[in-house]
Amino acid sequence: MLLFVLSCLFSAAGAQSNPHYMTTDPALSEMLTSINMPRHTGNASFATVSADPAIREMLISMDMPRYAGNVPVEIISGSWQIGLSEGENIHLTLQQSGSAIFGKGTISTSTLSQEAFASGSISGSSLNLEVLPENATELYAISIDITRLPYKGTYVVFLADSSLQTGTITASMNASA
> Where do the domains of the chain lie?
74-175
To the question of pTM greater than 0.85 for the whole model, the response is no
DSSP 3-state of 8: helix
Given a contact cutoff of 8 angstroms between Cβ atoms, the answer to whether 79 and 92 are in contact is yes
Class of domain 74-175: mainly beta
- The 10s digit of each residue's pLDDT in 95-149 is 998 888 999 999 999 999 999 999 999 888 889 999 999 998 999 999 999 989 9
**Please, which pLDDT band fits residue 159 given cuts at 50, 70 and 90?**
very high
User: What does the buried/exposed string (b/e) look like for 79-112 if buried means 16 or more CB atoms within 10 Å of the residue's CB?
Assistant: ebebebeeebebebebebebbbbebbbebeeeee
Q: Which residue has the higher pLDDT, 55 or 89?
A: 89
